[in-house]
Chains A and B, each alone.
Chain A
Amino acid sequence: MNRTVVIVLCVVVGITALLLLGKKASKPKASADPAKQNVSGSQEPSGADPAIGSLAPEFSLKSVPDGKTVTLSSLRGKAVVVNFWATWCGPCKIEMPWLVDLQKKYGDQGLQIVGITKDDSNEDTIAKFTKKMGVNYTILVGDQKVQDLYGGVGGLPTSFFVNRSGKVVHEIIGLDSESKFEDAIKQALL
């Protein structure tokens, strides 16, 4: 009888251990971070997006139209919006006037919006486009390396909100409302 009890106990412990292991393995890995808004409804995993609270990946890119090299670290102390966009992206065109207004409104408080283009167009085309759109913030020519550092940037627009310490505090994928954008900027300016 004692032997039977030992066998039953072993089986119960074994099954419990296996079930716990199974539950752990089946847990979804994607975080449900409220600071990450995916407006596009995309189901595709965004890869290794910079995590909320982590340091925003450093970049060194050429600006348009003046050709100066801009690094993220040179903007430390400011709240930075890293906004990925392209000339062929309709929703990006809708967002641009908001960014112009927000740069005007919060520039004095230390906001710097940085538009990183994901375009294959030449720099003249990009410069003409941004002039037509009345862009008053920094425009940089992106490359694959910076896209990879920011999780691949599958959908446009995608914006990362970086606080004065260089940490990502919010992310918006796809077009959202101007008010949500402003809220995220205020959070970065804190």
Chain B
Amino acid sequence: MRFHRLILLVVSAGLLSSALVCVTKAQEQEPVAPKPRVFVDFVAANNIVVSPGHSAPVQFTFHVQDPYHINSSQPLTEELIPTQLHFSLPPEVAFGKLQYPAGKLMSFPFDPSTKLSVYSGDFAIKGIVLAPGQASSGIYTIHGELKYQACDNNACYPPKKLPFTFNVRVGSGGKSVPKARPTRTSPHIHN
């Protein structure tokens, strides 16, 4: 009889524990606050190594999440907001003119008769990074920001900024400076 009572107690304790776990999990699932919507992710930048007085190619890859699209860097109408990449640069690093990919010409259910120039899925922005001859060797963390405006098939969303960082190593390994020069030599923000 005592043995049965012991088993009953152990089983009851187990059931109570399970029920408590269920309650805790259910409470954990309660939404606390809406997470901000993410339309575009920064995927990667290539390994950037540039010698002082030289240049190196750079490529930034982004991913537009399904089912969204964003305007290309050259949307077809003036009201639309173009995608733009900006950097905050230290004096040791400069950028040449960025090469944005051509947008895909697509029409959407909200206006099947009109084509828009957009990016969807993965897209890459290329450029040249330069280090002045007097740049000190070292690894520099650069802050970039992608400005974009996203839509889906039925709605558009306010312009957003996607901040990201990447490293530029100033040291051996860079290529010769091409004829192209940075369009702007400001040490801070570069279009």
Binds B, one of A4-12, A51-59, A61-69: A4-12
B9 touches A7 (CB 8 A): yes
- In the complex, A23→B30 CA distance in Å? 11
A156 touches B157 (CB 8 A): yes
A91 touches B23 (CB 8 A): no
Question: How does the 8 Å CB contact mask read for B97-124 relative to A, with 1 for contact and 0 for none?
Answer: 0000000000010110010100000000
A190 at the interface (CB under 8 A from B): no
A154 touches B37 (CB 8 A): yes
- In the complex, A123→B27 CA distance in Å? 48
Residue of B nearest to A15 (CB): B19
Question: Which size class do B's interface residues fall under?
Answer: 35 or more
B79 touches A15 (CB 8 A): no
| Chain B residues whose CB sits within 8 angstroms of the CB of A118 once the complex forms | 158
- In the complex, A14→B20 CA distance in Å? 10
Question: Which size class do A's interface residues fall under?
Answer: 35 or more
B116 touches A90 (CB 8 A): yes
Interface core residue of A21, A47, A176 (most chain B CB under 10 Å):
A21
A44 touches B26 (CB 8 A): no
Supplied contacts A19-B22, A90-B114, 15 more A-B pairs, CB within 8 Å: A7-B5, A7-B9, A8-B12, A18-B20, A22-B19, A22-B23, A25-B30, A42-B152, A44-B37, A90-B108, A91-B111, A154-B37, A154-B158, A155-B155, A174-B152
Binding site for B on A (CB under 8 A): 3-4, 7-8, 11, 14-15, 18-19, 21-23, 25-26, 29, 39-42, 44-45, 47, 86-94, 118, 120, 129, 154-158, 173-176
Q: List 25 A-B contacts (CB under 8 A).
A: A18-B22, A21-B23, A22-B23, A22-B25, A22-B26, A25-B26, A26-B29, A41-B153, A42-B37, A44-B34, A44-B37, A88-B149, A90-B108, A90-B151, A91-B155, A91-B156, A92-B156, A93-B111, A94-B111, A118-B158, A155-B157, A156-B156, A158-B155, A173-B155, A175-B110
